[in-house]
Amino acid sequence: MKRNGTLDFVRGVAILGILLLNIIAFGLPKAAYLNPAWSGSVSGRDAWTWAILDLFAQVKFLTLFALLFGAGLQMLLARGKRWIQSRLTLLVLLGFMHGILLWDGDILLAYGLVGLVCWRMIRDAPGIRSLFNTGAMLYLTGVGVLLLLGLISGDAPNRSWIPDAANLQYEQWWKLGGGTEAISHRLDLLSSNLVALGAQYGWQLAGMMLIGASLMRSGWLRGEFSLHHYRRAGLALVALGMLINIPAIYAQWHVGWAYRWCAFLLQAPRELSAPFQTVGYAALAFGYWPQLSRLRLVNAVAHVGRMALSNYLLQTVICTTLFFHMGWFMKFDRLSLLAIVPAIWTINILFSLIWLRFFRQGPVEWLWRQLTARAAGVALKQPAG
């Protein structure tokens, strides 16, 4: 099957874009990911950096990746039950190892677990509209649960939102020290993440996967609509997403990032805006692809997308080395951390360009495919020549 260059580019954008937020999780305490006032105060520079990321990137690239993951599940249906289950089970195992041995911010485990549920829903959906509507309903359920959690939560901030000096010191100690203490702590965080996945986040993740599958089934994610349609839809959806999100950004700033509002209630507008903005980003890529495809940088980003899993794990290796093994943790503010991102993007791009000159797949993708074939009991075709 011929690769879709536009989808490879969009997937590359998603993987590179995720780093804009992950770099905060690597370089600062866990509380800083959503709360710019995690230390009890916030500078104007930090607040503006947070606001811009919130508007353009926060949740958006993870949502985009979930959309593409669902589209991939739709494409995999032709492979059959054993192939899909084997592939997703291996992704779960990889995510578990990644989350326990390397970094507590892993997303692979969640995508694999939710994918094991969603692929059957995608297969059994009677039509495109029902598949899309089910996805939208699941996503809205997740947002509803988020609001419910906000309504029943107390007003007093907890240590995960504004950690005290002892908690910050302990987090720095186990992240920089590594070893069994770090593994033990990552196991605890994994348990909490799985509870959150089942209670709230998993609904949204499943919803976006089903929406992505419906858009692939309809031909929308195959580029089968007119350029005018994609351009008009892209501009409208991105604008709508921003209009939903901007008031919440202002409100969080206005209430001083108070725990109950900003950890729950004012997260909801961002979550509601993300699907519109995400689909809008993809639409703009399809709508302007004749112009974009001529650019060398776009071609390079598409190479990153072809090796998305390898590049995601490479980002972890680079960032854990810099921040945990070289001691950069808690040494930079948000804006300074963003200055590191282009260097890592460059490594991702060069790695992908060089590797794909000699091989058809990324190294982790190749291993994943080989193990899937063994687990499913399927013989892989050898390339001609």
Over the stretch 191-225, which tens digit does the pLDDT of each residue have? 999 999 999 999 999 999 999 999 999 999 999 99
What integer pLDDT is reported at residue 356 of this predicted model? 97
What is the maximal distance between C-alpha atoms in the chain? 67
What integer pLDDT is reported at residue 381 of this predicted model? 67
Short-list 163, 156, 151, 162, CA closest to 264:
151
What integer pLDDT is reported at residue 18 of this predicted model? 97
225-251: pLDDT as tens digits:
999 999 999 999 999 999 999 999 999
What integer pLDDT is reported at residue 383 of this predicted model? 45
Euclidean distance between CA atoms 335 and 51, whole angstroms: 12
Euclidean distance between CA atoms 8 and 104, whole angstroms: 27
Q: Which amino acid is at 365?
A: E
Short-list 345, 234, 215, CA closest to 286:
234
Contacts of 160 (CB under 8 A, 6+ apart): 30, 31
Short-list 370, 308, 361, CA closest to 72:
308
Q: What are phi and psi of 279, to 5 degrees?
A: -65, -35
39-86: pLDDT as tens digits:
988 999 999 999 999 999 999 999 999 999 999 999 999 999 999 999
What integer pLDDT is reported at residue 135 of this predicted model? 98
For the chain, which ranges sit under pLDDT 50?
Answer: 383-385
Planar angle of CA 123, 195, 38, nearest 5 degrees: 120
